[in-house]
Amino acid sequence: MTRNPIVGDILKRYTQVWAINHSMAVLGWDMETHMPEGGARPRGMATGELAVMAQKATLDLDGLVRKAEKAKDLDDMERGVVRVLRRNLDFFLKIPPELVAEIQRVTTEATVVWRTARKKSDFRQFRPHLDKIVQLERKVADKLGYEKHPYDALLDQFEEGFTVRDADAVYARLIPATKKLLAKVTAAHVYPAKHSLESVRYDSGAMERVNEGVIEMLRMPKARFRMDVSTHPFTTQIASDDVRITTRYEGTNFKSSLYSTIHESGHAMYSLGVDEKLAYTPVGDGASFGIHESQSRFWENVVGRSREFVKLMSPLLRRDLTFLRGHDDEDLYLYFNTVRRSFIRVEADELTYNFHTALRYEVEKKVIAGEVGVSEIPSLWNDTFDDYFGIRPKSDAEGVLQDIHWSNGSFGYFATYTLGNVVASMIWHKMKNGAQIQGALEKGDIAALKSWVGSNIHRYGAIYAPKELQLKVFGEAYNPERLLQYFDAKFAP
């Protein structure tokens, strides 16, 4: 499969790392779906041990990777393998195990405190823990190294090669333009701020049948894919022929269950669509968090929230959700596309979503640089929110404490949600400003859309770094203009 004997050797030995990761993926999936509470402690112990084994097995490859880095005749796939392993090695070589253990300890405790602090809406309770986490994240940035901004090192962990400079460029264009558009859209009252279907209760058995119908409609392969239930929906690639998603049934506002199923299916298509030659290798899944998110957002928003898709999906919604009688397809479309200013990110619509990530990005950037102290975060948060939305959170619970990410130590993650939106719109642009998508959906040809993303993006796995992949497919990278063009085409009154 590989031509270079050193890379061949690396891949043979990498099977061990792959096997450990495979086991951890199954354990992680089980923990979120089926494990009884009592399993938490032993599961934590087992995955902790496995993580150490994976680290050791990866470090054992350092010598060979060093040799391969000197080779001049590597093909794209071989270069990808070496690049991805070097990133993993870099992390293990630069971050001492004591620091990893300390982060683990501090974030486990912080997550417990965050839950009560959010319930009481009291940032002061969480503040000392966040203070510690910020200090540790700065340490990680210093150890990993950066050229200009310490936050670059943290962004890079989630989106290879993505920097403060890139993110500033995206948001500087996106935010003011979206603000203007949002003002126009809300004044025009075409897209409703609220819809009566949001409060209708559904039967979870009926909703399950709807979701089963949708994944069938999306042609998810039965022998390589399954769907379960968990509190927070996610996708996990257990192996190239074993990808699993979860969804949830909250009992009201059925679009939330429906669109999380479509979103996770988009992630799953990516993981299932990687060239089978890349199975068991370090490049056997997506290129980055942002590119992965572009696939889920493409199916959830660009495809899933279009009039044509809603029409296509309508019969199977009506088959099981009897309360939809009296709502025509256009009304369903409007229900799926309500637009309103809201405090909570996970409830945000397509148009307002990026304000939420921009807000988190601005706060993280300033805190990591030391320009803002942790105690100043709530006021910075509320001021920035006010600037973007023209409304102010009334409490920490609906403001700064809403998301779990900081208590996990995930600094640098939020921007990838917006990168996902941006890259999804670049696909839309490349497909003739959506005309190709519309055409396929009018014929019910889901396969044509899957084949486009499959052959242009999925099959490459992580062979190319995200920017390189975008340049190859689109001739440009992280271009916010495309998202604004997409918004204009869809929402401009």
Residue the block writes with tokens 């052959």: 455
What is the rounded distance in angstroms from the CA atom of residue 327 to the CA atom of residue 65?
Answer: 60
How far apart are alpha carbons 469 and 336 in whole angstroms? 32
Binding to Zn ion (CB under 5 A) within 298-327 occurs at: none
- The nearest distance, CB 125 to Zn ion, in angstroms, is 30
Residue number, 58 or 410, with CB nearest to Zn ion: 410
User: Given the complex with Zn ion, which of 303 and 367 has the nearer CB atom?
Assistant: 303
Shortest separation between residue 295's beta carbon and Zn ion, angstroms: 9
State the residue number with the nearest CB to Zn ion. 296
Q: According to the binding rule CB under 5 A, does residue 260 interact with Zn ion?
A: no
Which of helix, strand or coil describes residue 343? Answer: coil
Contact region for Zn ion (CB under 5 A) — 6-14, 83-91, 102-110, 293-301? Answer: 293-301
Tell me which residue has tokens 């002061």. 124
Terminal Cα distance for the chain, rounded: 54
- Answer positive or negative: Cα dihedral of 426, 429, 431, 436: positive
Is 418 an interacting residue with respect to Zn ion (CB under 5 A)?
no
Tell me how far apart the alpha carbons of residues 58 and 296 are, in angstroms, rounded to a whole number: 30
- 294 scored as a contact of Zn ion (CB under 5 A): no
Nearer to Zn ion, 234 or 249 (CB): 234
Instruction: Name the segment binding Zn ion (CB under 5 A); options: 64-72, 290-298, 320-328, 390-398.
Output: 290-298
Q: At closest approach, how far in Å is the CB of 267 from Zn ion?
A: 6
461 Rama class: left (phi>0) / alpha (psi -120 to 50) / beta: left
Per CB under 5 A, does 421 bind Zn ion?
Answer: no
- Contact flags string 131-170 toward Zn ion, x per CB under 5 A: ----------------------------------------
* Contacts of Zn ion in 48-107 (CB under 5 A): none
296 vs 301 by CB, closer to Zn ion: 296
Residue type, 25: A
Distance CA 267, CA 271 (A): 7
Q: Which of 237, 334, 317 is nearest to 284 (CA)?
A: 237
Question: Which residue is catalytic, options 264, 300, 362, 468?
Answer: 264
Specify the stretch interacting with Zn ion by CB under 5 A; choose among 34-42, 176-184, 296-304, 477-485: 296-304
Quickly list DSSP for 141-195: HHHH--SS-HHHHHHHHHSTT--HHHHHHHHHHHHHHHHHHHHHHHHHTSS-S--
Question: Of 277-285, 294-302, 347-355, 428-436, which segment contacts Zn ion by CB under 5 A?
Answer: 294-302
Q: Write down the least CB distance from residue 327 to Zn ion, Å.
A: 28
Residue 357 binds to Zn ion (criterion: CB under 5 A): no
Q: Let me know if 276 is a catalytic residue.
A: no
CB of residue 5 vs Zn ion: minimum separation in angstroms? 38
Q: Give the per-residue SS3 of 319-334.
A: HHCHHHCCCCHHHHHH
Helix (H, G, I), strand (E, B) or coil at 95: coil
Q: How many helices (H) and strands (E) does the chain have?
A: 21, 3
- In the bound state with Zn ion, the residue whose beta carbon lies nearer, of 296 and 354, is 296
Helix or strand or coil: residue 304? coil
- 296: contact with Zn ion by CB under 5 A: yes
- Contacts with Zn ion by CB under 5 A lie at 296
- Catalytic residue numbers read 264
